[in-house]
Chain A
Amino acid sequence: MNNSVLLVSLGGVLASAAPILFAVIGETISERAGVLNLSMNGLILIAAMGSFAVALATNSVVLGFVAGAAIGGLVALVVAFASLTLGQSQVAVGFVLAMLCRDLSYFLGSPIMGKVGPRISQVPIPLLDRIPILGPLFFQQDVMTYLSFVLIFASWFFIFRTRPGLVLRGMGEKPAAAYIRGENVSRLQYVYAIVGGAIAGLAGPIYSLSVKAGWKGTISGLDGIGWIVLSITIFGGWNPFRAAFGSYLFAFLQWLGLVLQPSLPSVPSQVLQVAPFPLMILTLLLVNIGSAEWVDRTLARLPENVRRDISRVLHALNAKPPASLGEPFKKE
């Protein structure tokens, strides 16, 4: 009995990681193409609000999801236009959009606040859901959670095993080389930024039509998710598998915070909710510190066998961003 409760709640962790996964992989694709979409926090909020509004008006969750993707793509288009065509700072535009879209979703969403709308339900997969342990964990989820599993593998396969994926990787590293090889870099960057934005936009409806169904304005608990998404993208080293690990780790830690709450009555729930963040900083530090010069110098002084182990760990954790991230390509 106790075991099955645990399994169901761990299944819930997988479901609550789904929106984060979509957003992280969308951002990964965009950043792989060299476009940093810093607007993620506002993008997810406005996609959540907009898709709930559409689903409420049309009573169709499918249209809700379409709206979420469209909104995400649209926000990404603004980032791409401002940086690729107008040559403005991606950080500046992204930050402004993060603030603007957040306030816009609160403002436009106030009439539908607290309303009960359609939501997607769990679809157990016949036969597979009977498998002990794995069944309740993986095969009693809703459609979007299944899709999130697929997305991890599909995006990894696309980025690392296909030709367009090779071009995508090359574009983020050295756009000039991709250009010389006859690729229309600017157009491809637009395409990947918008596709990445649309995938990330799906995180909105996954929240508002499933994980945290409905729209509750400032108390939706969605404000801040986008910033976590951006850190997980770095932690994930722009690799879908590592990104998935980061997303599940984060969702698991948040769940752990809720579970531990009753046994730590002196700690307010808001504190445990943010427990993953210091850990996030620490991982970011570990991801980056391997490339710091003073680390090398310090390591050089350590005895050989210790040094080898430490540098191996640092090397495994290390992740390098796409070299041209944030700098639009200009042919000249």
Chain B
Amino acid sequence: MKSATCVVALAALCLAAMSAEAAPLITSDSDCPSAGDVRARLAGLWSWDNLASIAAHIRVEVGQMTVELVSESEPAASRVLPVEPDCESRAQAAALVIAAWLDTMTADSLGLAVPVAVPPAGPTGPWVRVPVSERPLPAQARLWLGVGALASGDARGAGAVLSGEAAWLRLAGRFGLLAELSFPLPREMSVGQGTARWWRPVLALALRAPLTQGTWIFDGGVGPACGLLVVAGSGFDQNHTDVAVSWGATAGLRLAHRSRSRWAYWAELRMLLWPAAQNIRNDVTGSASRLAALPRIEAQLGLGLSFGVF
């Protein structure tokens, strides 16, 4: 019993060092079930979305199995269960207990359930307004389709971008994928005596993860980008058109508001990076070539909306 107390105390200390989204710390004084068995059973029973820091110690005695749970800010508590005959069932039972008590009840669903807002005190003294109950947010869809309009800026000036996207949320834990096709408006720049008109639609694939939960969701993403650069000259002695592929990377931060329907509205700031230099060249017979470098870093800021399909 003393050693179990020590383990629980140690677990509490470890908890203090754990981040809010760390996996639960599990220990066991038995091989049946072992901590590893319980951890394996626990996988899939909880999500990263709303995880509270918790540590669990499993103690097996004659006829009973005790699961001691320690959270960051509360005293330890135990659940005593009858001992199952086999290790697998014991591990499953312990995992169920841990998972059931693991998730913290969200401030969004509960704090807002009773927003005990107090309006300014009147002459009769303060009173409490209990608002009418709010409808819950629907279950979050996993496939979202969206469109956006963004302003872009780079070393060559400003532009505008229209984008369309498909996002699959929670593909692996809290991580999802977003595929986006963006079409900037064609731009022009002077090169020697003529003008080059260039256009670079981009296909980007980003790994995204929400940083917050609730009605307002802040999420970030990063991933590779592939651009198709189309350049056409005008006003030159000989006008040429060329097409080239650009490989790069994209990273973005998005603040989205999820309405009670399946619509979400968002604002996003993203960066596009093109590591390889790309130039537009004007070859003039009898004199040196003139080069104009295409921007390698682009910033985009814009608004959009998405619809949760299912």
A binds B: no
Using a CB–CB cutoff of 8 Å, the interface residues on chain B facing chain A are: none
Which A residues fall within an 8 A CB radius of B? none
